[in-house]
Amino acid sequence: MQKLAGKDYSFRTLQRYNTTKKHLNDIISSNYKSDDFRVKDIDSKFINSFIYYLKTELNLAHNSALKYLAY
């Protein structure tokens, strides 16, 4: 994705993608005691726990937390 920055994606989009990836890694390691999570295991419980993490641990507002789901 870094190679496409400035072409297909803006630099800011790349930053948001990397930030989202970091937050997902943080929640997976803390909640699931793993360094990886299978895509097929993503369900509403996982998504809700990610939103909860963003709101409580990072103190994000509702709309700000939901924006991370787009990346």
The predicted structure's pLDDT at residue 70: 84
pTM, 2 dp: 0.81
Q: Where are the domains of the chain?
A: 2-70
Each residue's pLDDT tens digit, 44-64: 999 999 999 999 999 999 999
The predicted structure's pLDDT at residue 2: 65
Q: Which residues pair with 9 in a beta bridge?
A: 5
Residue 6 has pLDDT above 70, yes or no: no
Distance CA 45, CA 37 (A): 13
Dmax (CA) of the chain: 37
Residue 9 has pLDDT above 80, yes or no: no
**Which helix (H) or strand (E) is 67 found in, with range?**
helix 62-67
Q: What angle do CA 34, 15, 7 make, to 5 degrees?
A: 120
DSSP state letter for 10: -
